[in-house]
Amino acid sequence: MNLLSSRCYVSRRSPVFSIRGVVASSQPFATLAGVDILRAGGSAADAAVAVAAVLQVTQPCSTGLGGDCFVLHYSAEGNKVEALNGSGRCPRALTLEAARGAGFRDRLPPYHPYTVTVPGAAAAWVDAQKRWGRLHLSQVVAPAIDLAERGFPVSPLTAGWWREGAERLLSRQRHGGELMIDGRGPRPGELIRLPALGRSLRLLAEQGKEPFYRGSIAEKIVAAVDEAGGVLSLEDLAEHRSQWVEPIHTRYRGCHIWECPPNGHGLAVLLALNILEACGFARARGRAADRMHLMIEAMRLAFADAGRYVADPDFSSVPVEELLSEGYARQRASAVSLKQAMEPPLWGDPKSSGAAGGDTVYFCTTDAQGNACSFINSNYMGFGTGIVPEGCGFSLHNRGYGFLLETDHPNGLAPGKRPYHTIIPGLSTHAGSGRLHMAFGVMGGMMQPQGHLQVISALLDDALDPQAALDRGRFQLEEGRPDGDVLLEDSVDPATAGELKDRGHRLRILSGLDRPVFGLGQIILAGQQGVYWGASDPRGDGCALGIP
């Protein structure tokens, strides 16, 4: 790819460059902490865990120890891509019968204590750092402890999300004040200290994950959920394990695009890319309306399949190989017309194709040795349930909202099961050499596969630089529904929007403070001569920095 073409310089912000490592995240303090860890001799994974911990402090309205995370890691030695599933399971006492007996029918209410599944983040941070890190965990977590105890000024967009979550959730919780100032969220630029969270991070630094699953913090988590009316138990926490899983991939424009396997829906990205290939997407070069139309239609089909097949593979057989086959891509692409938006599609049957056999933080890091870490952590919806274990300073997620209350659906609620997960890190390698191409991600609920698709196309189809790729106007199928309205950013050319409307797409144009609905992304691309290109989304508060 020639990144020095004139198309690279269409952004208001330049990418950052470094040969010694880059960190890109949604908060400047988190990015700086990651860079400091790299300068201290840490690996990409050390830097990533440092960023995760600082983001728990500076953006707790999106992420933290009460949530889950997923990781993709590239090791330069051997060009190896590995994946870590850090998602937790449904409490053993929460059965479909119990949920229905409580009066719930299609799915659980979004903020009900029944939606608290086992938080997997603490275990995943420790396990990722132990496997790929070089420093001691206490050194990696130290920047986050310092910020929590000493205090920090809150960035503008985060302050808005924090204030909204405080009003809606934290103010109604017994210990929500641990994340507020005088019963409210912090204002932009206002200093806030989080001493309770600092104590939890100190326990992590000194004792690892043990206190969170078998010790004092586990007891407080269970007590808080019980008081709120939930059923999470000490046994549920003690049984939790991070899971090392085989990443899945497809080939697109000379690169292997890597995603974590189900129970996450990175599969939707790969399905959409395969459908674009089968539709002859490359021949639509120069026709913006044609290209966006094809991407929207590919995502409709991909979401229809993801909604049917993505589930915990320990409970349901997910036909990944068949879904990602060329034959199945051709079958699904046959439903796409260039002239007209399709009717809401149903899921497909990969076995008939002739084939064989909410709120989140995303960040990425690279180091001087050529390793990369693509990392995503989430409470799901803002502060999740808003339930704060006493003296812990973090809220518990509501990831169980991803279950359906259906007996015959692969993603139906069941004890010990992991729900459909929306958070997905991305990574790509060169198909020929296996060398790193980029670490990337776009956070934001059901926007994530759609964001992945659009930045991949911007980089590989249009040779934009990473910052220009993130700056480009986006679409979103609302809430990932195959029959959803198409949300368009106001920076999309009005002529393109008009053509999409003429083809039958139901459009809504969003601008201003509504723009974060299109996701907040980070990219680090491995360019020529060992130079990293880093970029951070202009819709957020973050930045990318490289080591000089």
d(C-alpha 104, C-alpha 39), whole Å:
52
Burial of 336 (0-12, 13-18, 19+ CB in 10 A): buried
Cβ atoms of residues 54 and 144 within 8 Å: yes
Number of separate helices (H) and strands (E) present in the chain: 17, 19
Q: Residue 440's beta-bridge partner residues? A: 426, 523
d(C-alpha 313, C-alpha 263), whole Å:
7
Phi, psi of 7 (to 5 degrees): -70, -10
d(C-alpha 484, C-alpha 486), whole Å:
6
Helix (H, G, I), strand (E, B) or coil at 499: helix
Could you tell me whether strands 486-489 and 507-510 are parallel, antiparallel, or unpaired per DSSP bridges? Answer: parallel
- Please, what's the b/e burial string for 349-368 (b: 16 or more CB within 10 A of its CB; e: otherwise)? ebeebebeebbbbbbbbbbb
The token duo for 31 is: 């990015």
Q: Give residue 112's region: left, alpha or beta (phi > 0; psi -120 to 50).
A: beta
**SS in 3 state form for 71-85?**
EEEEECCCCEEEEEE
Radius of gyration of the chain (CA): 22
Instruction: Say which amino acid occupies 129.
Output: Q
Is there a catalytic annotation at residue 360?
A: yes
Cβ atoms of residues 49 and 20 within 8 Å: no
Burial of 217 (0-12, 13-18, 19+ CB in 10 A): buried
d(C-alpha 269, C-alpha 312), whole Å:
18
Give me the catalytic one of 360, 422, 429, 496: 360
Catalytic residues: 360
